[in-house]
Chain A
Amino acid sequence: MSLKDKLLSSYLTFQENQDFDNSIHDIKDAAIKIFEEKGFPTKKDENWKYTSLNSLVKGDFSLVGRNEDAIEFRDVKKYFLNDIDTYKIVFIDGKYSSYLSETTHDGVDVCLLSAALTKPKYKPVIDKYFDKIVKKDSLTSLNTAFAREGAYIYVPKGKTVSKPIQIVHFATGLESSLMLQPRNLVVVEENAEVQIIERHQSLNSNAVFTNSVTEIYAADHARVDYYKIQNDKEAASLIDNTHIDQQTSSEVAVHTFSFGGKLTRNNLNFYQNGEHNNSILKGVTIIEDKQHVDHNTLVHHKQPNCESHQDYKGIFDDRATGVFNGKVVVDSVAQKINAYQSNNNILVSDKASINSKPQLEIFADDVRCSHGCTIGQLDEDALFYMKTRGIGEKEGRALLMYAFANNVLESVKIPQLKSRITKLIANKLGVNLGFEV
């Protein structure tokens, strides 16, 4: 049975076991219909030309994990940011782990979507936002149909969440192959502020296929700072669908660090629904072997006087492949827009490849749009210069790659995270950089 058929046939049983109210059931019924019609995207789909889900959709994935709280904190400690205090929402094989988590209802809600979907007190927020921000494509719809668990973050007017929130999804590999569909809802009201770090991590080399959806709503003057750490094991694949609704004078930044995993696809969609929005999309991709990372971004400028800044850097070794597909749409009413986009890549091996494609659809006349894409090798003159100062080939290359990625890190606002990422980069490049950051 194909994965699609398996999903469709298990849908009814899944629904019967949930105590959602009718409006949620209706949303889910509509979503499964969309998925049934559209199915998994194929390479014939313009947006999926360079990323094939073939090997995944043929896989025999279990759709539910075992219900065991099977891991100890000390075994997974390294996957958390530990040197600062944080809230934690942790899932093991799709199930909430209260033992590893630290949630709150003190002024803000940092808790579980399963609770929000079922308890009456969250109903107003769920009715207003759940499934309202998303683009109803087949993968997001598939997630909507099965969505039950994930992070629920609600930050009321004027509140700043006092510490960053870590959302971590572990896969234990108890199942030989497991499909996970976490769903996060982040609502940040007027003048409120939050920082979130999200990570998907499998703990052994069994296959995991995660189809994740995150909805983020940033009200007037809200600030959201979201970091995605994608450094998973060789048999883990991730499709991340993130949909962001921005209202007047809000600022939302999403940093995506893609350092590992078999196949990673980021569908990152920004909808600017107010004036004076700032949208920041940054990414560093460093992959090797036969890994594949695809960044598919959309910034839809629907209102005037807004900005968007996209800066994606990639370093590809061995037979690794990358895709950058950055779409910027400027509606005719959206005058005085500044939209920047840059995608720079280094191919370390001649077998590595990157497909980079900007797509600009501009219907307003008073806009400033710039986009640039480079694909290159490391600068040999710089390597020689460094050697004359005693810095050898390997360290020199690493330093150049670090430097190349470095300016993307400059906008990381959590210092401990920044130094963690720098160390990850140094580790990946196999060197001691000779200095702390």
Chain B
Amino acid sequence: MNLFASQIIDGLADGAIYASLALALVFSYRSTGIVNFAQGEMAMLSAYLVWQLMAWGMPLVPAALVSIVISFIAGALLYATIVKPLSHASLLTVVSVLIGLYLALNSLAGFLWTYTIKALPSLFPKAHLQFGSFTVSAETVGIIAVVGIVLLLLYLLFETTKVGLAMRGAASTPDSAILVGVSVPVMLLIGWGIAAALGALSGILVAPRVFLNPTMMFGVIIYAFAAATLGGFDSVVGAVVGGLLVGVVENLVGTYIPWIGPDLKIIVALVLIFGTLLIKPDGLFGRKKVVRL
């Protein structure tokens, strides 16, 4: 029973990481209709940036915060320099460019920091917390808490502020947003910035568990895709629920189905993606676009 419970909790921590990267995918998709295939690689660079700042003598927490801010700016720049100019290009062009960016960022990391793995310290102490009869690591609790707080802040931004409302309006109906005086490009820019910042968070949280290396986000981005697909690619709630579900299922399957084990766990993600697309293509929370003229 304790094994089961701790698998669930560990699954929620993994799931929180997937959820933040899935949210990054959902934000860029909702605002511009583009799936950012390079999101994981951007997150990987964000994690390397933390390592680099620490190598230059900055403590971990400030380094993580600086990296998240720089990632926000990088995401905004990506929108301004690549995504926006391509807004009238065909989808294939955009996808090709983003896959090109994926490869470029991956090589860039290898070039700057080599392909040998590096260790990034965890934001949380190595301690364990005792809850009645079972123990959880401080890292597990910390990851869930950090992602939870970030989600709460995002919720407050989108549901209670004018800018948040304008961002939702610009993403949902840009033509109408212009007519109420919203600067749509600025809102989309902020949206891509937030996506990159969320990605950075996922990279910084996952790096201590998988070690820094240029392919470290490969597993995470697959799970994030599974989470976003399961939740519905245009649903914020879906990305969070999808992320947590994927994390828990992944952990349970890895533990209780012996022949799968840790190495084949990635299959879980692929099964979830294909299963969702076959059975419920809009995902659990995704909406079919209702257009009433």
Q: Report whether chain A binds chain B.
A: no
List chain A positions with a Cβ less than 8 A from chain B.
none
List chain B positions with a Cβ less than 8 A from chain A.
none
